[in-house]
Every structure is written in structure tokens, then in C-alpha cells.
Chain A
Amino acid sequence: MTFTTPRPGPGSRSPGLRISRHGSTLISISLALLLAAVLGFVMSTRSSQIGSPLNAGLDFTGGTSLQLELRCAASGCDSDQRFGVAAVRQFLADLPLPPVDSHPVDLGNASIQVLDGGAGLVVRSAALHPSQTKLLVEKLDARFGPIDQAGIQLDSIGPLLGAELLRSSVVALLVAFAAVAAYIAIRFSPIYASLALAALVHDVLIVCGLFAWLGLLLGVEVDSLFAVALLTLAGYSVNDSVVVFDRIRETGRLEPGLSLREQVDRSVTASLSRSINTSATTELPIIALAIFSSGGLQWFGVALAFGIAVGTYSSLCFAPPLLLLLLKRGRLGRQAEA
């Protein structure tokens, strides 16, 4: 695939792609995607297993996740050495864990997942104290071991921290939105700032929608890395919108005689190959990240890769038609030209 087809520049007479002609179609596509996202949130909230718009993981809800691997995993375990879900469940239900800080702990309803056909194990439960996880590892080692001590991953998060993480992420996101909007309002105009925000909300909602569906269908959980991905996409989305706006402003300055419709068409056309090529180059390392990483980082890669595609789409096919729509409806033309 190459993007070297000559395209008309700003000085050329014939605009290639007339985005303005397909405005209503493009906005409808976005609305359909948004609707699908909202549907995902509703389904997820009504689902008895999830009960919230997104399938929140350990980082937000609190709890303990203990992942371990048998020492024989490197060379290949015999069938009688492997973890079996039923055996582990029975073992955990009978395991006496001493109470710490007078919190009794029963592992009877912990969730158990077997990895690599039984060579690895993930146990998830209510938040355990380090002394309880230490004991848990010792007991599992004695019963099912030997366990590879260097291959243990433990994440234990109290509910307090999860709530705080959620709050601080949301606050950070909102403050970042406001600061970026203020910058665009000063450098461009308030109407561009609101459009950039609209594109941003569009992108963030659609990515969240994808993960609501992934949570419903595949049980994918959103963790703090997902929050990081959203924050990144926010920055990326605004960046993309700004480049297109910058182009519209420049076209307006160089050829003031053109109608706004014409300006937008030409600017989107001129930005097209840049936007697609930039997305492609950004996607390449991210897709590499998604392929080579495992666990949470993999879904982080998926969120970023999908989000960047959506962000590119919104900067070209959602924000510009919306600009035209707003100007037509609200006679805000003068403000936009300021």
C-alpha cells in the first residue's frame, strides 16, 4: 500500500474529496458507533455479572490476583503434575487461612483460571494480606508444586486505592480536557475548541464502548492501563483535530475568497495522506506492542490501536462535517473566522 498518488494541494483548482457532500452520512456513521457504545454500556450495566458500564478489573474494584507457574513449565509438565481447576477449587475451599486484622477469609468462592494447559494458575479473590498470600503460596507449593518462585506475580489492591485511582484518573482527564480546550480556544477559536472536545468525547466513548462489548463477550476487564490508554488517546485525538483545524485556518488565510465549505473540503483532502500515514506509523509500533506483549499490556495495545484509528476517523470525517453543520445552523461563521 502506498500513499504517493499525487493529490491536489491548496493552490490547485480541483478538490479531490468533497467531505461536505457526505456530511450527513459520515455523522450518521459516528452516531451509529456511539449508539453501539451506549448499548454496550447499558447491556454491561444490566448484566448480572458485571453491573457497571465497563467490566472494572482488580485495579478499580480491589482484590487479590495471584499468578504462578510450575517449575516444570519450562521443560513441559507431565499430566499428573498439572493444575486442575476442580482440584484447586477443592483445595482452596478447605484451606485454613488465618485471619489478619480480624478479617476472616474464605477462598471457597475465589475465581480460578488455569494457564498453559495446567502449567500455570491464576487465583483471584477478595483482597488478602501479604501474610495470607505468603501462606497461600506455601500451601499451593506443598500440594501442587514445586512452583517457580521467580515466576510469581501478585497484585493485591485494597478497595480504597481502587476508588482513589478511579477518582484521580477522572479528575486528571477532565483537567487535561479543560486545559487543552483553553489552549485551542486561544490559538484558534472557541468553536474549534468545542469541536476538538466533541471529537475527543466521540473517540473516548467509542473505545469505551468496544471494551464494554469485549467485557460482555470475552470477559475482558478494564484496568489502570486502560485508563492510561484513554488519556493517551485524548492527547492523540486532539493533536489530530488540531492539525486539520490548522489546515482549515491556513486555507482560509491563503484563499479568503473560498466558501467555508470549499475551505473545509480542500483542507481535509490536503490533510488526508498526512493523517493516514501518521496513523499508520503510530499504529506499527503499537501493533508490535500488542503482538509481543501478554496479559494486560496486550489489551492496552488493542485499546490504543483501535483508538488511534477512531481518532484519525473523527478528525477527518466527524469534526469537519460537524463544523459545517454548526456553522450552517447557528450562524457562527464570524466567530470561526476570528
Chain B
Amino acid sequence: MLALILALVLAASGLLTYKPLQLGLDLQGGSQLTARTFSDDPAVVIDADGLNAVKEVVRRRIDGLGLSQTTVQVAGKDKIIVQLPGSGEQQADLDRAARQITQKAFLQFTVQQADSTEQYDEFNAQRARLRALLSRELANLQGAEDTALNAATLAQSRERATSLAVELDAVERSIATLFDSRALTGEDLSRAIAAPVPESNGLSYQLNLTFTPKGGQTFADITKEVAGDPEGRRIGIVLDGRSISEATVGAEFRAAGITGGGARITGNFSEAEARNLEVQLQVGSLPYDVEILESRSVGASLGADNVRRSLAAALSGLLLVALFMVVVYRLPGVVAVIALSIYALLNLSVYALIPVVLTLPGIAGFILSFGMALDANVLISERTREELRAGNSLYRSVEAGFNRAFSSILDGNVTTLISCVVLGYLGSGLVRGFAITLGIGVALSMFTALTCSRTLLRLLLMYSGLRQLRFFMAAR
């Protein structure tokens, strides 16, 4: 038994040197987004495959951000969790990631319906007017911080900008309703690249698309359909239900359509918009809608501070407990402290092995499990004392102490384990982290309290110098 304990201690120390503990966001610094997948159509049920498909798209889009050490996981029935590393520009990274994962980016190539030119012209004029008004309002707001405008004017301006944005969105959707979809979507692209276009008032961005061979053929067919159309019907590019670009096709393409397998989207893209769209089109669209439920971000120095505080709490707690045990329980107290140290070591190495990502609630669970581990030792030592008081021999009292404390320890730990299992299954992230560390702690404490303490105490009692009542309790 002693050999087993020694082997475990050695293995645990080895493991911890080679495989460091994984620290969670709140200890290491970093950001986390929790998003939910859903469908507006109540008939659609998103199953595990659907969620995984979303996760895959999200993962590739997040990879496209060019950050190292990102993770994307599914959680529960409908959630995706994205973690980003700490950096000097954490807030900006979080923003980019949030935009990347919420935009569905479902791109459709469409053809204008017959007899809709008049309506189109009307909508188009509305759109141009709204765009101009909105950009003026936004410029107003931007400048307003420098010139001290009064709050009322500012609030009005902000409200106007909001309603203009809503109107513009509605018009863009109305335009899309004038177009019929064709069998050509973002799926048929093999490449999308954002490219700057010099303009009179600075740089604008466009997207250069390359189709797959089949997509190229379909594109040629579609363009042939409207090439030199007498009505002036257009090809429309619709993104997530909003028309982003429409173009007529010249009569010279009437014979074969636009061949060559490429197309260009020239919209009013800023650089950031174009780059986002580039990644989204490269990766493909999301099969369902995604919305952000939660975003959290912890700066790296705050994380380091949390680690320092937790370490201080754990060490001083351990020290105080050790002192208490030795003063109150004497020799069995010393043994309990050694067993407890082994317990802490084994616990940490199990965290490294599984691996358990250590978070603040997780550390709290660990610290609490110290207390629970001690309970077993306290029970055993108290029972041993009772036996001694009843006048039994030292050796018999120690053995009886272990045997009679066993059922209390078992029942107490099993009830705690039951709640840990339930919390681990049903609880959300934070609760689960806590339940896992507490559960591991309780399971391990049964081993260390019953096995390690017993073996060590038996070993020590082989020395006759230690077989004295005063090492166990105060003289009567």
C-alpha cells in the first residue's frame, strides 16, 4: 500500500511538471462569446448535427480572424462558445468575432422579375436618399463629440440615425423582393477576395468572386437571361435577404452570358465590411441564425491578479488548517496534514490529466474540497479518541477509529457526490466547473483519508517511541 502511495505521488509530480494546468479565461485573461443558434421558422428543429455544422462554420470564420489559440465549442443543445486569447486589443477582437459569427452570409444570385423596373427605380431612388441622409447624420454624430452640442440635439440626431438605418434596411429588403432566386449561391464560390478600388474621395472596397466550374456555368446562364434585356432587368446579389448590388448585363453577352467564372460585387463597402464578407464567403454561410447571448472579457493583468489571490488564499488556508490539525489532533493531525498534501497533489494532477480547465469557481470548489477532505480525518481522529477514552489500547483504538468512522464518511461523501453529478449534468458553465472540481476532490479524499492516513499512521506506530497516549490526546 505504501508503495502504491509513493508511486502515485511520484507519478503525480511528474505529470504536473510535464503537463501544466490549464487556466480558464478569468485566470489567464481573454474573451469569451456565448452564442445561440436558432431558426425563425418554428417548424425547424436544430439537432446535434445542425449545431455541429454551425460550429464548423463558426470555427473556420474565427480562424479567419488570424488570432492564435482560439477555441470553439458547442455547449448544451443550442449554444456555441468561442474563446479568444488575451491581447492588447481584446475589445476589438471581441467585436470582430461577434460580427463574424452572427452574420449568416447567405449570398444569392438573383434575376429581376418582369415588369418591375418602375418599382425598382422608385426603391433605388429611396435608397440613395436614405443613404445620403444616414451618412450625413452619422457624420454629425461623429463630429458632435468635439463640438459641445447639447444632449437633447444629440439624442434627436441619434434617434434619426436609428430610424434611417431601419428604413434603409427595409428598402434593401424590398428591392430583394423584386428579384427571383436562381440556383446559384455562396456555396458555388471557390474564392472571394476583398480588393481596394481607388475613388475620388479615398479608397472603396469591392469583392472579387471566383465561381466553381459548375457555378461559373450557372452564372453564364443567368447573365445570358438578362443580357441586353429590353426592359432593363438586372442581376441582383442578395445577402441575407438584403439586396447589396444590382447590375444590368450588356447586349454583347446575349450569345453566351458572362463566362470566365468570375464576378465582382461593388457595393458601398468599407474595408472592415469587405474583409468580414471575404472571410464569410470563403467559409460559407451559416445554416441557421446565430445571436450573441453573452460576452465576457478579462484583461491579462486582472487574470494574473486573480491567480495571485487564489494562490494566497489556498496556501494560507492550507497552512492554517495544518496548524489547527496538528495542535488539536497531535500525531493523527500530522498524519492528516501529510495525507492532505498528497491529496492536493493528486487533485492537481487529475486536473492536468483530464484536463480540467481551472477557473475561479473551480478553485473555490478545490478549496472547499480541502475542508471536506479534512472532515474525514477529523471524524477518524475523534472516533479514535473516543475509543481511547473508553480505555482501549492504542492500536485497537486507531483501527476502530478508522472502521467506525467509515460509514459516516461514506454516506457524507456519497451525498456530496450525488449533488456534484447532478450539478455537473444540469448546471451551466460556472456551476459545472465547480461541480467537477468538488466531485473529483470528494472522490479522491475518500482514498487519501481512508488509505493514506491509515497506512501512514500504521507505519508511524511501528516505532515504539510514538506509541504513547500523549501523542493522541491531552492527559486526563
A residues apposed to B, CB below 8 Å: 2-4, 6-7, 9-12, 93-99, 102, 104, 106, 108, 129-131, 133-134, 137-139, 148-158, 160-161, 164-165, 168-169, 171-172, 175-176, 179-180, 183-184, 187, 224-225, 227-228, 231-232, 234-236, 238-240, 242-243, 246-247, 250, 270, 273-274, 277-278, 280-289, 291-294, 297, 300, 304
Contact check, B162 vs A285: say whether CB atoms are below 8 A apart: no
Would you call A228 and B301 a contact (CB within 8 A)?
Answer: no
- Most A-side CB within 10 Å, residue of B95, B97, B162, B422: B422
B295 at the interface (CB under 8 A from A): yes
Let me know if B438 and A149 touch, CB within 8 A: no
Contact of A300 among B158, B165, B312, B364 (CB under 8 A): B364
Q: Does B92 contact A (CB under 8 A)?
A: yes
Are A96 and B141 in contact (CB-based, < 8 A)? yes
Enumerate 19 A-B pairs (CB-CB under 8 Å) in ascending A order. Answer: A6-B473, A10-B386, A108-B151, A130-B295, A133-B95, A161-B293, A175-B422, A183-B414, A235-B420, A238-B415, A246-B411, A247-B408, A274-B379, A280-B324, A281-B374, A282-B371, A286-B367, A288-B312, A292-B316
B317 at the interface (CB under 8 A from A): yes
Known: A156-B296, A239-B416. Contact between A168 and B328, CB under 8 A?
A: no
Please determine whether B411 and A187 come into contact, CB atoms closer than 8 angstroms: yes
Tell me which residues across on chain A come within 8 A of B22, comparing CB atoms.
none
Q: Contacting A180 at CB < 8 Å: which of B29, B418, B431, B438?
A: B418
Nearest chain B residue, comparing its CB with the CB of A159: B293
Select from chain B the residue with minimum beta-carbon distance to A232.
B368
Judge if B237 is at the interface, Cβ distance under 8 Å: no
Inter-subunit contact A156/B295 (CB<8 Å): yes
Chain B minimum-CB-distance residue to A179: B418
Task: Give every chain B residue within 8 A of A240 (Cβ-Cβ).
Answer: 412
Task: Give Cα A97 to B145, complex, Å.
Answer: 11
B90 engages A149 (CB within 8 Å): yes
Across the interface, do B314 and A134 meet the contact criterion of CB distance under 8 Å?
Answer: no
When distances are taken between beta carbons in the complex, the residues of chain A under 8 Å from B159 are: 104
Q: Is the interface of A mostly helix, strand, loop or mixed?
A: helix
Write out the residue numbers on chain A whose beta carbons fall within 8 Å of the beta carbon of B352: none
B389/A6 in contact, CB under 8 A: yes
A179 with B318, Cβ < 8 A, contacts A235-B416, A270-B386 known: no
Establish whether residues A227 and B313, one from each chain, have CB atoms under 8 Å apart when the complex forms: no
Interface class of chain B by DSSP: helix
Residue on A with the closest CB to B426? A172
Q: Is B474 an interface residue (CB 8 A)?
A: yes
Nearest to B442 among chain A residues (CB) is A235
- B375 at interface (Cβ–Cβ under 8 A)? yes
- With A158-B292, A281-B321, A285-B318 as known contacts, state yes or no: A304 contacts B166, CB within 8 Å: no
Q: Counting CB contacts under 8 A, is B203 at the interface?
A: no
| B residues 282-315 in Cβ contact with A at 8 Å | 291-302, 309-310, 312-314
Given B29, B327, B370, B382, which contacts A2 in the complex, CB threshold below 8 Å? B327
Bound Cα distance from A239 to B426, whole angstroms = 21
Q: Is the CB of A278 within 8 A of B422?
A: no
Are A96 and B158 in contact (CB-based, < 8 A)?
A: yes
State whether A239 and B474 are in contact (beta carbons under 8 Å apart), knowing that A278-B378, A293-B309, A300-B364 are contacts in the complex.
no
Q: Nearest-CB distance from B277 to chain A (Å)?
A: 16
Q: Are A150 and B324 in contact (CB under 8 A)?
A: no
- Using CB atoms, name the residue of chain B closest to A165: B428
Contact partner of A246 (CB less than 8 A), chosen from B92, B293, B387, B407, is: B407
Residues of A within 8 A of B438 (CB): 232, 235
The answer to whether B426 and A94 touch across the interface, beta carbons within 8 angstroms, is no
Contacts A4-B473, A106-B155, A154-B296 given: A281-B162 contact, CB under 8 Å? Answer: no
B266 to chain A, nearest CB (A): 24
Q: Which of B161, B302, B428 contacts A99 (CB 8 A)?
A: B161
**Min CB–CB distance B387 → chain A (angstroms):** 8
Report the separation of the CA atoms of residues A99 and B40 in the bound assembly, to the nearest whole angstrom. 22
Complex CA gap A150/B90 in Å reads 9
Contact B309 A294 (CB under 8 A): yes
- Contact check, A281 vs B301: say whether CB atoms are below 8 A apart: no
Which residues of B have CB within 8 Å of A231?
Answer: 419, 423, 427, 431, 434-435
Encoded as 1 (CB less than 8 Å from any A CB) or 0, chain B from 309 to 346 comes to: 11011101110110011011000000000000000000
B411 touches A9 (CB 8 A): no
Known: A6-B476, A176-B422, A285-B370. A235 touches B415 (CB 8 A): yes
- Whether B313 and A180, one on each chain, are in contact in the complex, defined by CB atoms closer than 8 angstroms, is no
Give chain A residues whose Cβ lies under 8 Å from the Cβ of B320.
284-285, 288
Chain B residues, CB < 8 A from A175: 422, 426
Closest beta carbon of chain B to A60's beta carbon, Å: 12
Residues of A within 8 A of B312 (CB): 288, 292
B193 at the binding interface (Cβ < 8 Å) = no
CB distance from A92 to the nearest CB of B (A): 10
Indicate whether B36 reaches chain A with its CB closer than 8 angstroms.
yes
- Please give me the residue from chain B that is nearest to A237 by CB atom: B415
| Chain B residues positioned under 8 Å from A131 (CB to CB) | 95, 98-99
Cα A180 to Cα B293 with chains together (Å): 33
Which residues on the B side are within 8 Å of A236 (C-beta)? 372, 416
Closest 10 CB pairs of A and B: A285-B317, A282-B371, A172-B426, A288-B317, A96-B141, A9-B386, A154-B297, A150-B301, A130-B98, A176-B419
Q: Are B430 and A277 in contact (CB under 8 A)?
A: no
**Bound Cα distance from A148 to B309, whole angstroms:** 20
Partner of A274, one of B317, B378, B418: B378
Q: Beyond A231-B435, A289-B313: 15 further Cβ-contacts under 8 Å?
A: A9-B389, A94-B145, A96-B141, A102-B166, A130-B292, A150-B86, A152-B302, A153-B302, A228-B431, A235-B419, A235-B438, A284-B321, A286-B371, A292-B316, A297-B360
